[in-house]
Amino acid sequence: MTQLPNEFPDFGLTPEQRREAVRGHYYEWPGIDGSSGEIWCYGDRFSYRPGETVVLHISSTAPRFSIHIVRDGRVETKVFEKTGLSARWQDTPDQCSVEGCGWEASFEFRIGDDWSSGAYRVTLSAEGRDGQPIQSHHLFIVAPLPGRKPGRVLQVAATGTWLAYNTWGGSNHYQGITGPNRDQYATMVSTQRPWCRGFVVLPKDAPRVPLEVAVPPKTVPRYPHMEWAFATGHSKKYASSGWASYDSHFFRFAERTGYQIDLASQHELHFSPEILDGYDCVVFVGHDEYWTWEMRDAVDAYVERGGHAARFAGNFMWQTRLEDEGRRQVCYKYRARAEDPAYRGDDVTRATNSWEAPEIGRPGSATFGLNATRGVYAGWGGCAPRGVRGFPVYRPEHWAFAGTGIYYGDLLGADSHVYGYEVDGLDFEIRGGLPYPTATSGAPDGLQVLAVGMASQVEESADIPIEDQFLTDEDGRFTAETLFGEASDANLDKVKRGNGMIVNFPRGKGEVFHAGSCEWVAGLLRQDAMVERVTKNVLDRYLGKS
């Protein structure tokens, strides 16, 4: 096993700054860089097809800028470059996170017919007021053209979750400057704003959420990823979502190991579900928390018809709705029962609550075999900080583990820390030393539980004062109220102990494999041979290669 350091990393913050890094609400906004000046950019859409036109909306303190675009795969391939372009500063509404920035179009270009599907990173550069360079990053996806794609994998980027966590402008689905006191999270967020710092590109040493520190007993929880973000000027949520922290690592792994892979956004599932029909294998990775009803319909129908869905991702939690042709995402979350108009309309099943809310009637397990409310936190804060770093394996004879040499009771991916920081699970029981979903778990017929680890919805320690806890029991109370109607101590006790699983099951003519952890991609990033082998086993089976 990897020997962990005994001390938290030091990013030069005072104790007060460290507390602000975790408790405070800091975000990117027009004017944040003051006298040095700045340049920002967003696109009219998340994704385009070859031959279509990208429209960029740019606000800059500098009158001239240059643009550099690379395809961000196994190797970075430059596809476009131009200098001496005109820009100007554009005013931004206070509630741009919700309403969109409303900037006029600044520059447009055509996607080349030869631009292969993938993520394209845009770098805008200009000269600041002090003569020093200023820069910003944007990302767009080139989705594949329609048609049959034998032998190719389609990866679906978790753009709903990117939107939910984007801090640019002050509000997202977690914290915000909305409401009468400017202290509430936004129930609606706009695509028409830049990505926050750290979503598109990150340095290699940026901490991930799970702790890479040996935590002695009674240690007050620390959050190195948020401390690093505060110290370096990155978004507080860079480690929770985005291309740079999650989706990119799977895409690069696939290309590095010889797979032919295309990329689409979740919005394709919503508006163009037929995109799935060209593929034998569709993959979802990383932190993949926010979905619309229509996105789920697309995946369910695809698998029923004979498709193969591989989800190496965690936290399948919230239903969302899209408005304004997909430019606005709605999710009332914890306030849904009190505020979401769906509860006063004709169809409460579309309420933007947890998928496991009984009135919605469509638990996450119905699509991917696992539920977020039976999983959640592991390996950070006060939630199993010294727990398993990999998946404890129960059924090593399963085809997914072929060639790994793994035994019953071994940990899969412990050295690369693939288990955390949010996981999905099921209510289960042990019979004869093997896990089985309970009759009331919501597990699909034929589901096999291959691996199970422990997780928690509550920071529970008699030795850590509540003022030193970040998560406390708020999510646990919400789950208790969601599932059982009341956030009582008795109901909290029913939900606070969670788990994370690897499962596999058939549906219709197709099949689903789900490794229910956000951090599976860490095993690919860190080139963990056993994690890579399991991933290849799944892809090869679903592509008909094995």
Domain containing 484 — which CATH number?
3.40.50
255 falls within a domain: no
What is the C-alpha separation between 24 and 239, in angstroms, rounded?
A: 16
Element (H, E) at 503: strand 497-507
- Asked if 86 and 77 touch (Cβ cutoff 8 Å), the reply is no
Write out the chain's pLDDT in tens, 546 residues.
568 998 999 999 999 999 999 999 999 999 999 999 999 999 999 999 999 999 999 999 999 999 999 999 999 999 999 999 999 999 999 999 999 999 999 999 999 999 999 999 999 999 999 999 999 999 999 999 999 999 999 999 999 999 999 999 999 999 999 999 999 999 999 999 999 999 999 999 999 999 999 988 888 899 999 999 999 999 999 999 999 999 999 999 999 999 999 999 999 999 999 999 999 999 999 999 999 999 999 999 999 999 999 999 999 999 999 999 999 999 999 999 999 999 999 899 999 999 999 999 999 999 999 999 999 999 999 899 999 999 999 999 999 999 999 999 999 999 999 999 999 999 999 999 999 999 999 999 999 999 999 999 998 877 877 778 888 889 999 999 999 999 999 999 999 999 999 999 999 999 999 999 999 999 999 999 999 999 999 999 999 997
- Asked if 111 and 48 touch (Cβ cutoff 8 Å), the reply is yes
| CA-CA-CA-CA torsion sign (169, 174, 180, 181) | negative
424 falls within a domain: yes
- Closest by Cα among 61, 44, 290 to 161: 290
pTM of the model: 0.98
Look up residue 97 and give its amino acid.
S
Look up the domain containing 381 and give its range: 280-317+354-543
β-pairing, 434-437 vs 510-515, is: unpaired
- Tally Cβ neighbours within 10 Å of residue 441: 21
380 falls within a domain: yes
- Asked if 139 and 69 touch (Cβ cutoff 8 Å), the reply is no
Two tokens, residue 269: 């599932």
- Tally Cβ neighbours within 10 Å of residue 433: 8
- Closest by Cα among 256, 119, 277 to 200: 119
What is the C-alpha separation between 538 and 457, in angstroms, rounded?
A: 30
Cα 527 → chain centroid? 20
396 falls within a domain: yes
β-pairing, 308-314 vs 281-287, is: parallel
375 falls within a domain: yes
pLDDT at 211: 95
- Looking at the DSSP bridge assignments, the partners of residue 181 are none
Percent helix, strand and coil across the chain, each rounded to 5?
25, 30, 45
φ/ψ (deg, to 5) at 144: -75, 155
Two tokens, residue 193: 């704003």
> Can you tell me whether residue 455 is helix, strand or coil?
strand
Two tokens, residue 495: 């939900």
305 falls within a domain: yes
Two tokens, residue 355: 């998928």
What is the C-alpha separation between 403 and 412, in angstroms, rounded?
A: 13
Residues in CB range of 214: below 8 A, 6 or more apart = 4, 5, 6
Q: What does the pLDDT look like over 179-209, one tens digit per residue?
A: 999 999 999 999 999 999 999 999 999 999 9
What is the C-alpha separation between 212 and 205, in angstroms, rounded?
A: 12
Element (H, E) at 41: strand 39-43
Two tokens, residue 448: 């096999």
What is the C-alpha separation between 209 and 329, in angstroms, rounded?
A: 25
What is the C-alpha separation between 490 and 492, in angstroms, rounded?
A: 5
Two tokens, residue 323: 């408005």
- Asked if 276 and 303 touch (Cβ cutoff 8 Å), the reply is no
Two tokens, residue 46: 């998340």
pLDDT at 1: 59
- Closest by Cα among 432, 434, 431, 386 to 409: 434
Range list of β-strands (E), 257-397: 260-265, 281-287, 290-292, 308-314, 318-323, 328-330, 371-378, 391-392
The H helix count followed by the E strand count for the chain is: 13, 25
> Can you tell me whether residue 177 is helix, strand or coil?
coil
Q: Maximum CA pair distance of the chain?
A: 71
183 falls within a domain: no
What is the C-alpha separation between 129 and 106, in angstroms, rounded?
A: 21
Look up residue 392 and give its amino acid.
P
- Count of domains observed in the chain: 1
Two tokens, residue 137: 């990053």
pLDDT at 82: 98
pLDDT at 546: 77
Q: Taking each helix axis from N to C terminus, what angle separates 248-256 and 529-542, rounded to the nearest 10 degrees?
A: 80
42 falls within a domain: no
Residues in CB range of 474: below 8 A, 6 or more apart = none
